Structure 1
Amino acid sequence: MSKHFQNFIDGKWCDSSSGETLSSINPANNEEVVGQFPHSTNEDVDAAVYAAKEAFTTWKRVSSLKRGDYLHQVANNLEKKIDDIAWTATMEMGKTLVETRGEVMRAVQILRYYAQEGYRKEGDVIPSGGDNNFLFTKRVPLGVIGIISPWNFPIAIPVWKIAPALVYGNTVVLKPASETALTAIKIMEAFAEAELPNGVINLVTGQGSVVGEAVIHHEHVNAISFTGSNDIGKKIALACIERGAKYQLEMGGKNPAIILEDADLEQAAELTVSGAMKHTGQKCTATSRAFIHEEVYEEFKEKILSKVKKIRLGAGVEESTYMGPLSSSNQQKNVLRFIENGIAAGASLLFGGKVPEGDAYKHGYYVEPTIFENVDPRSELAQEEIFGPVLCLFKINGIDQALEQANDSRFGLSASLFTNDISRSLTYMNEIEAGLIKVNGESAGVELQAPFGGMKQSSSHSREQGEAAKEFFTAIKTITITPVN
């Protein structure tokens, strides 16, 4: 019998007001139920939001140093649970234990980073035009923050939203993706054990169409931080604009890698395959297009194919697995649809493109690592985010053509360039339309102390992580004190 999990509202673990539950399914074996979590209602969201609203009145007055101390304790708790949380995340969404263990440690580091934010300044003194005036700014929290987190990074992403929200004095209602609800509950256990004041952080699980909608539209939720699809992100923006709430959106990507003729081809191939295939391509920063100089195109293609053919598919809990299953049946169907449409549109399939055969795969949501060439740059395959292990190869004659084609996208999240030419690197850094730019590095991945976010339709043009998080999670008060003579 699978384990039953609960919401966390106002400092207490509780079932949904409906008493109903949903099942978390292992994507490597869809006959296995990982656990049951609450099928929550609007009533549960109300309870969480009102608890957070009440807690905000006192939490905002707690010293930022003390708020940071709480985050240090959560980090310690999370580190002790590394194996349990990593195992749960792998069982829920499929990526390998190496990846989920690394993600837990990333969350620990994020908590410790933001714990130190409590020691940093919260405003500036500004020269005043009035004699003897004292003019300064003070950053203040927004209030109740609704956090809607995705399933692809179920540990790091909610934590990199929660940690700054709390240290800057806000309270939180977290709605995690249903595919990874149990992982979110495991993370919440680390917060509960740190004994933050009741209502400061709350967790409500359930369907996005019910719980997510209730959080987005709730009159007492002052801001929404969301990572997920563009379609849902646009709906959130409209809802927040309508009621005057602040919003932060991190959405899709169609990330290019540019390989010039002077590149270290072995390094470039290794990092391009890693960027495209690790996490089964389910990263908003995954490499999905490779623009390769015509002089080295065939050599580079052979290196890519050689590496992809060695990829071992399997359950994420198996240590030898390089690439696990996709997260769900819907995700598998969607990726296969993109592949089929690409073939029908005339793209050349070089490798993969199918569900692997064999008993080890028949109950999982697997798709082979897939490589295309001769892809129409304006086709669906080249323009839309697939969110799966699919890489398209394009032949280019130089950096100018590469930049033109790489920028021909409504997305602008991340990009990578492989070259030893400093001049062309500078051209690329200035001209590429992306928020995260790598030279001789994988398109995926960002350091936690650095701002993260995209251009164009990849984000709402705000930034997460590092000191940039302060810009979203606080407002500025400008204050003048004039002495009375």
Structure 2
Amino acid sequence: MIQCYCPATGAYLGRLKATSKPDVDTAIAKCKTVQETNWKHTSYDERRRVLSTLLTFLKENQEQVARLACRDSGKTMIDAALGEILVTLEKISWTIKHGESSMKPSKRVGPANLLIRYKDAEVVYEPLGVVLALVSWNYPLHNILNPIISALFTGNGIVIKCSEQVVWSSTHFIAMVRSCLVACGHSPDIVQLVCPWPEDTDALTSHPSISHVTFIGSKPVAHKVLEAAAKSLTPVTVELGGKDAVVVLDEYQKSWKNCDALASVLMRGSFQSAGQNCIGIERIIAQPKAYESLVATLKKRIPVLRVGSVLDETQSIDMGAMINSERFTSLKFLIDDAVYHGAKLLCGGQAYSHPQYKHGSYFEPTLLIDVTPEMLIARTELFAPVMVLMKATSVDDAIRMSNAPDFGLGGSVFGKRGSVATERVVREMKTGNVAVNDFATFYVCQLPFGGVKGSGYGKFGGEEGLRALCLAKSVCRDKYPGISTSIPGVVDYPIMNMQTAWQFVRAMNVASYASGAWEFGWNLLQLVLNLK
């Protein structure tokens, strides 16, 4: 049994049975049956109707849905509204409006061969079957619905493996989706939720009926997932978090007497969901003028942030709890190590004992300045409410510092719009996603999302994300009636004259890829002369 607790209060939420290996087989078999017999044959209109029903439900029940996410993850209602509901509404709306056009057959230019230009070429996109998503706990609503939306729209069935940390809310969110399917006249078995213990997860990731795996999590676990998926040669898209940098150039503001607007963006990127965000701001790299202004502003604003539980409706809070306290010791070590090597701790830096919720998992909002790239904290993903400031002497220095860790998921640059320096940072930042003068909006824009280096590989989101869940089938046809491929007698089996056949084929190859009219004409003549 999986015991479920609220991270913000320690309150017991209940217990749920972990998924056994036989249960995994049953869930996949149910999903596969419905996908093959029904769902893959549904029209885009039918799929849109399901998504529209889900969209309406989310809009009309935001508070109840947000409270479920908050109770299981410890975040605030505002964090849930922005990081859970808003991005999910955007994903659904975008898919309803643009999903079908993304899935239309892709016309291709066809062969470069001058002699077979009568061929028409295209790529069509067909469902893979049953796809699997192993998702992390930090966004219990969105991380579940995001792959479900894409899978259903592309005609696939989907099995979701949630984290045992948030299985309590996950069961409610899956029930919500399944109810929408039933309301639209479809079997709910096309969507399955499983939560086996880690030692039983291999039976899921190596299952021969799984056609694609999306994994969101840590690098050590990714190695195990990939090893298991290799047994059945199942393709995997891997997203492993990041060490996202924000580069702030002095040119961004004419005057640095006030930087409250920028500080607000940086604080949202650092402290939303208590910093437990794969594209959260882990490092702020600023040039000297911007750096001094940011330090002066942030050291006043961060210490007054209020920490607590969404369940306490008697006061407003700014930041919720972390998922648990397991990493508090390592966080404290990294912060102390940075201070030992010259960084300055301006506020926070340790676990917080909430006066009302003694069993809550709280860490103080932390501001650490004068961090250098050599420090452990500058190279280790924190996934915590710790804001790290680093001073860059030049644009070159800022780019070098941003690319130093073995991560490359997201990043931002704040500079003059279209300036040489700003565009250079965009171009040279080694990361899968970049926001200019903003934070993480590449995700809301439904662009293909994924990283490089230690942040993983493959993409989900946008057109590429939908197509990644499809078989890209290449199809070629004859363009014109009565014109098709035939085998000339000179090269037909059995070949009667090898020398003549060779001269024919040689002339055909040169004519097919001729660099000019004379070369084409001469070799076409040779081809005709050797036809018999």
What TM-score do the two structures reach when normalised by structure 2?
A: 0.81
Name the aligned partner's letter for residue 104 of structure 2. E
2:276 counterpart of 1:282: yes
Residues 102-161 of structure 1: per-residue CA shift (max 9 Å, x gap): 322432332232234553243134455647555432111111111111111111122121
Partner of 2:59: 79
Name the aligned partner's letter for residue 243 of structure 2. K
* The one of 44, 47, 53 aligned to 2:26: 47
2:285 counterpart of 1:294: no
C-alpha distance in 2, partners of 1:344/1:24?
Answer: 38
Name the aligned partner's letter for residue 146 of structure 1. L
Does the Cα contact within 8 Å between 1:448 and 1:465 map onto a contact in 2?
Answer: no
* The one of 448, 458, 471 aligned to 1:451: 448
Instruction: Please state how far the C-alpha of 1:301 moved relative to its aligned partner.
Output: 0.8
Partner of 2:410: 414
2:67 counterpart of 1:70: no
Name the aligned partner's letter for residue 449 of structure 1. Q
Correspondences of 1:321-336 after superposition (within 5 Å): 321-336=317-332
Between 1:213-222 and 1:62-71, the stretch displaced more is 62-71
2:436 counterpart of 1:439: yes
C-alpha distance in 2, partners of 1:152/1:360?
Answer: 24
Between 1:73-82 and 1:470-479, the stretch displaced more is 73-82
Partner of 1:104: 85
Name the aligned partner's letter for residue 145 of structure 2. V
2:422 counterpart of 1:425: yes
- Matched pairs, number: 462
Instruction: Please state how far the C-alpha of 1:419 moved relative to its aligned partner.
Output: 2.3
Higher percent of residues as strand: 1
Partner of 2:350: 354
Partner of 1:4: none
- SS of aligned partner of 2:279: coil
Instruction: Please state how far the C-alpha of 1:442 moved relative to its aligned partner.
Output: 2.4
Partner of 2:516: none
Partner of 2:198: 208
C-alpha distance in 1, partners of 2:331/2:349?
Answer: 9
Gaps of 5+ in 1: 1-20
Partner of 1:11: none
Partner of 1:471: 467
Correspondences of 1:150-229 after superposition (within 5 Å): 150-194=136-180, 195=182, 196-210=186-200, 212-229=201-218
Does the Cα contact within 8 Å between 2:90 and 2:444 map onto a contact in 1?
Answer: no
Partner of 2:298: 304
Cα RMSD after superposing both structures: 2.3
Instruction: Please state how far the C-alpha of 1:390 moved relative to its aligned partner.
Output: 1.2
Residues 370-419 of structure 1: per-residue CA shift (max 9 Å, x gap): 12234341232110101101122222111110111111111011112222
Correspondences of 1:355-370 after superposition (within 5 Å): 355-370=351-366
Residues 146-187 of structure 1: per-residue CA shift (max 9 Å, x gap): 111111111112212111111111111111111111222222
Partner of 2:381: 385
Does the Cα contact within 8 Å between 1:229 and 1:252 map onto a contact in 2?
Answer: yes
Between 1:393-402 and 1:351-360, the stretch displaced more is 351-360
Name the aligned partner's letter for residue 303 of structure 1. T
Instruction: Please state how far the C-alpha of 1:342 moved relative to its aligned partner.
Output: 3.5
Higher percent of residues as helix: 2
* The one of 124, 127, 150 aligned to 2:106: 124
Between 1:335-344 and 1:402-411, the stretch displaced more is 335-344
Partner of 2:263: 269
Name the aligned partner's letter for residue 400 of structure 1. D
C-alpha distance in 2, partners of 1:128/1:347?
Answer: 59
CA 1:393/1:141 → structure 2, altered by over 3 Å: closer, same or farther?
A: same
Please tell me whether Structure 1 or Structure 2 has the larger radius of gyration of its CA atoms: 2
Partner of 1:137: 123
C-alpha distance in 2, partners of 1:444/1:131?
Answer: 43
2:235 counterpart of 1:255: no
C-alpha distance in 2, partners of 1:297/1:133?
Answer: 60
Residues 72-122 of structure 1: per-residue CA shift (max 9 Å, x gap): 222223334322221111011111011213322432332232234553243
Between 1:74-83 and 1:151-160, the stretch displaced more is 74-83
CA 1:294/1:108 → structure 2, altered by over 3 Å: closer, same or farther?
A: closer
C-alpha distance in 2, partners of 1:62/1:358?
Answer: 52
Residues 177-228 of structure 1: per-residue CA shift (max 9 Å, x gap): 1111122222212222121324211111343332x33221212111111111
- SS of aligned partner of 2:139: coil
* The one of 398, 403, 406 aligned to 1:402: 398
Name the aligned partner's letter for residue 167 of structure 2. A
C-alpha distance in 2, partners of 1:131/1:306?
Answer: 69
C-alpha distance in 2, partners of 1:98/1:391?
Answer: 20
C-alpha distance in 2, partners of 1:56/1:472?
Answer: 17
CA 1:293/1:172 → structure 2, altered by over 3 Å: closer, same or farther?
A: same
2:480 counterpart of 1:480: no
2:8 counterpart of 1:28: yes
C-alpha distance in 1, partners of 2:95/2:412?
Answer: 28
Name the aligned partner's letter for residue 33 of structure 1. Y
Name the aligned partner's letter for residue 304 of structure 1. L
C-alpha distance in 2, partners of 1:191/1:304?
Answer: 41
Does the Cα contact within 8 Å between 1:75 and 1:109 map onto a contact in 2?
Answer: no
Does the Cα contact within 8 Å between 2:353 and 2:362 map onto a contact in 1?
Answer: no
Name the aligned partner's letter for residue 264 of structure 2. E
Name the aligned partner's letter for residue 245 of structure 1. T
Does the Cα contact within 8 Å between 1:52 and 1:173 map onto a contact in 2?
Answer: yes
Name the aligned partner's letter for residue 235 of structure 1. K
- SS of aligned partner of 1:199: helix
Does the Cα contact within 8 Å between 2:31 and 2:158 map onto a contact in 1?
Answer: yes
- SS of aligned partner of 1:174: strand
- SS of aligned partner of 1:412: coil
C-alpha distance in 1, partners of 2:369/2:405?
Answer: 18
Partner of 1:60: 40
